[in-house]
Structure 1
């Protein structure tokens, strides 16, 4: 089955510019949402990776086509609402979940904070304090939740605007929205930042299993010293809770570091033990202490996802939180579309970028196609049926059916 490059662009444009589109344009605007989205997609998928460069590139190649200037595109973007864009993203995910039929079995989810450094005025709206990174301790911050097994999708995005993180509220909101997608959560993999009372209480109340590294505070360091004196450098599991009376019980899973060098000073890069906090029940300590580190390693798929999203990154100097959020949401959409398409066609991020660029070229050269006749659901099901028919024919030819 031949998959045309114009089809790839068309199904994306159908989704991005259809009813409840990602980017709305003002009523009576000179250009359509499709005109502006062509510029956005060109910036995200070509070497002209900014709105200004994308406009210049398209205007040189297609001087008689309807291409808005960069200021116009920025004006349109600023007219949008971050909440509406987040809702659009979640609605799109709901369709993907139905297509992939993954709502029937419990899923492993990774939750993480993603920061984008900012080098301008720290008082700019939407800018919050972040861990020092690339010469700045200010930036934009997003909480993301991703599927880390099977078809890897970013399920939810939360745009953080408060100076202080309310971990309980953030986690509860993400869990509720994932449940609304029809996904049952088996467990959540989180980084060390979530090891606090509010997070543990929220997860326990929601009856959600979790795995996260424990922060080595004075109490846990004493537990490790006592454990080593009593048992030696061996794996173990200890029941634990925070000092607060409201703290639920959970397990500390103690795993010896095979690369520990006793001749060097013990510290961040030379730990005797790795310690994980989890609520997962177990039978065998031996098997449990082997499985927990393996489970937690799945969380690194979310880091791989960030690298994939960066392939679709649009550079900007804009101070607008709306514009920056739009660019981040678009990266997540491209990441999700790529991973959904991978289920039915052989495609890479660079193949997808090339297909979109070629599709934009064809559109501007011959005129707009009927994008509303190109549904990503229809395309997915059409290719899926074709693949299933080919598989059946092959099995019949080999006498397997």
Structure 2
């Protein structure tokens, strides 16, 4: 860890303003979800649940697995049991968990506007699909089927929309996608929800798995500029071969794609792949070149590389996701959305540090994932009765 990163971790431990802000933020959001006794003789409140979840995500454990390490305070006889945590988690409802995440995003945006000026021309966002492996199947539950991976072919699907500006990385919207739900419709819904926050989208970056006529049609109707790699369909491969033969230019306007329920047009930019294996010779045009779909007349395709920043966030999200064996949809959704909230808090702490300390340069990474987890552990190690603060 660099000298500057040591400074930020030390400042966090000794800065009550930041510590109080994070704890208040999390507990305010979680309180309506956690079914705990509010009587005068109740041992445990939402503070203990929050502390237990934080310890769980820091230890990459299952919910309740770190309960024994949660201090119950001087007024309590014993710390909360593992079963106490699991019961609290099982009572959560899906719509309430979604509202929790929305309120968290709105608070982050409010703080962001106070600390940092958002670009007037809008932000760059990326939409991505997350697959969470499932090893149990419940009758009537709609799990998506995909390639066999990690010992299963059944997965929960989550679609996220994240701001990927150079200096702002925040998860803004997340939707769970059942197996029978239309992915293009989910893309439309997730963009509409992002726009409802009063955010202007300058450019939307999508992965190849979203490439379809229905998705392109929805993006065009919403007037959202986008970049998205094309799948190697017969029409796309044909254009790539014509480009190699110097029969067409690198930009093809009004290329048509036909889907199951819609037909759409887009502009295709042909560019050389950047991740070619130097040990292998790319013989076919589709192996050396890639087509990128857009509704702009022209754009530098290298702009798409800013989306790759979310790939590095996957490790963070997975390590901060509380594991659970619960079959309750609300419980599993809470565990995933809580990891997104933690990621957002990680990003907001960086911005807070920039506004509160003279040691940190805006262009340097100030807090690593390890340092952030150490900060969270320092919260759970606090002693004393009541909520951990």
Measure, in 1, the Cα distance between the counterparts of 2:367 and 2:277: 41
* Alpha-carbon shift at residue 279 of structure 1 (Å): 0.7
Match of 2:240 in 1: 224
**1:75-86 alignment, distance < 5 Å:** 75-86=87-98
Indicate how the Cα distance of structure 1 residues 355 and 366 shifts in structure 2: closer, same or farther if over 3 A, else same.
same
**1:208-357 alignment, distance < 5 Å:** 208-231=224-247, 235-243=250-258, 247-257=263-273, 259=276, 264=281, 266=283, 271-282=287-298, 288=299, 291-292=300-301, 294-345=302-353, 346-357=366-377
Match of 1:378 in 2: none
8 A contact 2:226–2:295 mirrored in 1: yes
Indicate how the Cα distance of structure 1 residues 2 and 307 shifts in structure 2: closer, same or farther if over 3 A, else same.
closer
SS in 2 for 1:153: strand
- TM-score by length of structure 2 reads 0.81
Measure, in 2, the Cα distance between the counterparts of 1:54 and 1:62: 19
Measure, in 1, the Cα distance between the counterparts of 2:60 and 2:132: 20
8 A contact 1:108–1:147 mirrored in 2: yes
Measure, in 2, the Cα distance between the counterparts of 1:297 and 1:209: 16
Match of 1:13 in 2: 23
In structure 1, runs of 5+ residues without a counterpart are: 283-287, 372-401
Indicate how the Cα distance of structure 1 residues 352 and 224 shifts in structure 2: closer, same or farther if over 3 A, else same.
closer
1:41 aligns with 2:54: yes
Measure, in 2, the Cα distance between the counterparts of 1:130 and 1:9: 41
Structure label with greater radius of gyration: 1
1:58 aligns with 2:73: no
In structure 2, runs of 5+ residues without a counterpart are: 1-9, 354-365
1:155 aligns with 2:164: no
Match of 1:95 in 2: 107
Measure, in 1, the Cα distance between the counterparts of 2:130 and 2:379: 31
Indicate how the Cα distance of structure 1 residues 257 and 303 shifts in structure 2: closer, same or farther if over 3 A, else same.
closer
8 A contact 2:55–2:380 mirrored in 1: yes
8 A contact 1:211–1:276 mirrored in 2: yes
* Alpha-carbon shift at residue 37 of structure 1 (Å): 1.4
Paired residues, number: 357
CA-atom RMSD in angstroms = 3.2
Q: C-alpha deviations, 1:113-144, integer Å up to 9, x for none?
A: 10111122364735332343223210211000
- TM-score by length of structure 1 reads 0.79
**1:169-180 alignment, distance < 5 Å:** 169-180=185-196
Indicate how the Cα distance of structure 1 residues 22 and 151 shifts in structure 2: closer, same or farther if over 3 A, else same.
farther
Measure, in 1, the Cα distance between the counterparts of 2:380 and 2:15: 8
Match of 2:182 in 1: 166
Indicate how the Cα distance of structure 1 residues 302 and 261 shifts in structure 2: closer, same or farther if over 3 A, else same.
closer
SS in 2 for 1:53: coil
* Alpha-carbon shift at residue 100 of structure 1 (Å): 1.5
Compare 340-349 and 190-199 and name the one that shifted more: 340-349
Q: C-alpha deviations, 1:298-331, integer Å up to 9, x for none?
A: 1111211212222313233333322221111111
* Alpha-carbon shift at residue 54 of structure 1 (Å): 0.3
8 A contact 2:257–2:263 mirrored in 1: yes
Indicate how the Cα distance of structure 1 residues 69 and 267 shifts in structure 2: closer, same or farther if over 3 A, else same.
farther
* Alpha-carbon shift at residue 256 of structure 1 (Å): 3.1
* Alpha-carbon shift at residue 43 of structure 1 (Å): 0.7
Match of 2:13 in 1: 4
Indicate how the Cα distance of structure 1 residues 332 and 65 shifts in structure 2: closer, same or farther if over 3 A, else same.
farther
Match of 2:381 in 1: 361
SS in 1 for 2:168: coil
Match of 2:84 in 1: 72
* Alpha-carbon shift at residue 229 of structure 1 (Å): 2.7
